[in-house]
Homo-oligomer: A and B are copies of this chain.
Amino acid sequence: MDVRQLLLLAGTMLAQLAGPVFAQDANQPYVRVAEIEIDPSQLAAYTAAVKEQIEAAVQLEAGVLGLYAVADQDNPAQVVVFEMYADLDAYKTHLETAHFKKYKVSTQDMVKSLRLRETVPLHLSAKRR
């Protein structure tokens, strides 16, 4: 068990102490919210890279349920990516894929700051298509 897994376990135990509402449900997706500040001069290139990464991940990875990248209307350099994986293992698998690694390398000089928020779903619902 590495540090990250240990922190996750501790967080899950604390969440369970807080009551069933925030307990991690094994059947619930694993959801992350990435807040990314992009170099304004590289927005178009960043958008192309994130689009390519998202398409590959959703098409190729069974555990990637949805990836939604949006930019603030008032400040397009502020990007949010809402990420839904089947579970934590699916997320770990995603980090090891060629398309994700390509995205990380190709955007490393476009990203000015990155805040990754781990979350617990309260309720997730979408239209069936």
Would A124 and B68 be within 8 Å (CB), given that A11-B73, A73-B11 are in contact? Answer: yes
Contacts of A11 in B (CB 8 A): 73-74
Cross-chain contact B80 with A50 (CB below 8 angstroms): no
User: Which of A39-89 touch B at CB < 8 Å?
Assistant: 43-44, 47, 50-51, 54-55, 58, 64-74, 76, 79-80, 82, 84
- A interface, size bucket: 35 or more
Cross-chain contact A55 with B127 (CB below 8 angstroms): no
Q: Which residues of A contact B (CB under 8 A)?
A: 8, 11, 15, 18-19, 21-22, 31, 33, 43-44, 47, 50-51, 54-55, 58, 64-74, 76, 79-80, 82, 84, 117-129
